[in-house]
């Protein structure tokens, strides 16, 4: 397993950005969830009062009890009907100190005096969007630098919302996954694509790949299109959104989040425009969209299988006909370094790139 340091990405171990930390369905009960990301433990829960999502540092400042680890024996949990979430607050199972959504202790049942100011945990900026829970992570503690991921298609009745496929943990540094955005050479051998036109573009916090051509699994000879167009963008380091026009008009999302340095968690979903062109999706639309999501998941698993077993690519043997790996890695570095240095990395990567011998996507066919 290789680390951020091994890839020489910058001063921070984990990158700045929006990251998925849970499938919203995991918070359908009132039980808090113990989650671990960025080398830290957290307590994640949905407030009972407002439904608001709250993410707190996990350990109670009193004596370091985990606020959200599974507990079935404390009377705090038993008396709470199997949960220690109260309103939008959470009560520690050990001595029953209670913390609000802002992370401040607001009740110590056996104490009359003022609550010590130090009795608080950090509360993180989280949003519920696209059926997922996303956190803004910033090693410098700054406010979000760009808007959290959202899509109008999610709320459009003509589109089928997918479920999140939990692809599990991958013992690789996220660099290996981010490399995929420029990996022109793997599209044929891994995915069965016959690429007609291809290009990458880096602008600010976004890295884009545009390509079109045939595809063995995501196009159809009858009915749908025989050509697959994909317009795929990393919105920051951990959220990939791809607009697909092939068998169906689709938005694909792949999210990955560091758990520890060199270990990530990965999710995948699709939103599919009604395959039968309905304005309100029907059960037939649902069936077709679910099948398409499964094809897309299997296409992504083609990458995943290689990543599961490969050694870290700390310095590749790249050739001019490969995609712009070094530019992508330069783009990725902006998130591992102070914001004040961001432009230095962008100056070295912003632009449009076409692999040697390929035809640019933006060139008319």
| Residue 176 touches Fe ion, criterion: CB under 5 A | no
CB of 300 to Fe ion, least distance (A): 7
Residue 65 touches which of ligand FES, Fe ion, none (CB < 5 to 8 A by kind)?
ligand FES
Smallest separation (angstroms) from ligand FES to the CB of 70: 16
**From the CB of 65, what's the least distance to ligand FES, in Å?**
4
Coil, strand, or helix at residue 212?
strand
Q: CA-CA distance, 275 to 161, in Å (whole number)?
A: 13
Site residues (CB under 5 A) for Fe ion, limited to 300-359 = 303
How many helices and strands in the chain, by DSSP H and E?
A: 6, 19
Structure tokens given for 182: 């420029």
Ranges within 121-180 binding ligand FES (CB under 6 A): none
Return the C-alpha torsion angle 228, 233, 234, 236, nearest 10: -170
Whole-number Å distance between alpha carbons of 89 and 100: 4
The least CB distance from residue 181 to Fe ion, in Å, is 9
Nearer to ligand FES, 60 or 288 (CB): 60
As a whole number of angstroms, the distance between CA 102 and CA 94 comes to: 20
Q: Contacts with ligand FES in 61-100 (CB under 6 A)? A: 62-63, 65, 92, 94-95, 97
Q: What is the DSSP string of 96-162?
A: --EE-TTSBEEE-TT--SPPPTT-B--B--EEEETTEEEEEE-TT-PPPSSPPP--GGGG-TTEEEP
Residue with smaller CB distance to ligand FES, 99 or 136: 99
Residues 31-60 that bind ligand FES (CB under 6 A): 60
**Which CB sits closer to Fe ion, 101 or 240?**
240
Number of residues that bind ligand FES (CB under 6 A): 8
Tokens of 188: 């044929």
Query: What is the binding site for Fe ion (CB under 5 A)?
Result: 180, 303
Query: What is the binding site for ligand FES (CB under 6 A)?
Result: 60, 62-63, 65, 92, 94-95, 97
């Amino acid at each position: 397993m290789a680390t951020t340091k091994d890839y020489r990405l910058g001063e921070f171990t984990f990158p700045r950005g929006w990251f998925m930390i849970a499938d919203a369905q995991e918070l359908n009960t009132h039980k808090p969830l113990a989650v671990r990301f960025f080398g830290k433990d957290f307590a994640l829960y949905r407030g009972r009062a407002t439904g608001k999502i709250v993410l707190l540092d996990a350990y109670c400042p009193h004596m370091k009890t985990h606020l959200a680890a599974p507990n079935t024996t404390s009377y705090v949990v038993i008396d709470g009907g199997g949960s220690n979430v109260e309103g939008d607050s959470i009560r520690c199972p050990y001595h029953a100190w209670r913390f609000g959504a802002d992370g401040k202790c607001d009740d110590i049942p056996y104490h009359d005096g003022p609550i010590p100011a130090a009795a608080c945990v950090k509360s993180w900026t989280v949003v519920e969007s696209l059926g997922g829970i996303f956190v803004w992570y910033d090693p410098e503690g700054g406010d979000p630098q760009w808007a959290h991921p959202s899509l109008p298609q999610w709320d459009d009745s003509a589109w089928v919302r997918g479920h999140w496929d939990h692809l599990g943990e991958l013992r690789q540094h996220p660099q290996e996954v981010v490399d995929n955005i420029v990996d022109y050479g793997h599209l044929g051998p891994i995915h069965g694509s016959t690429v007609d036109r291809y290009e990458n573009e880096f602008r600010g916090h976004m890295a884009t790949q545009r390509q079109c051509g045939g595809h063995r699994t995501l196009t159809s000879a009858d009915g749908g299109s025989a050509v697959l167009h994909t317009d795929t963008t990393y919105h920051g380091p951990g959220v990939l959104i791809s607009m697909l026009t092939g068998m169906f008009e689709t938005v694909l999302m792949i999210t990955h989040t560091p758990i520890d340095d060199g270990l990530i968690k990965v999710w995948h979903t699709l939103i599919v425009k009604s395959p039968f062109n309905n304005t309100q999706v029907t059960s037939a639309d649902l069936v077709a969209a679910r099948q398409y999501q499964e094809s897309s998941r299997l296409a992504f698993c083609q990458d995943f299988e290689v990543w599961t077993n490969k050694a870290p690519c700390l310095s590749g043997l790249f050739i001019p006909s490969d995609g712009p790996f070094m530019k992508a890695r330069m783009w990725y570095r902006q998130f591992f370094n102070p914001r004040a240095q961001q432009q230095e990395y962008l100056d070295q990567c912003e632009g449009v790139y076409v692999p040697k011998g390929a035809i640019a996507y933006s060139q008319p066919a």
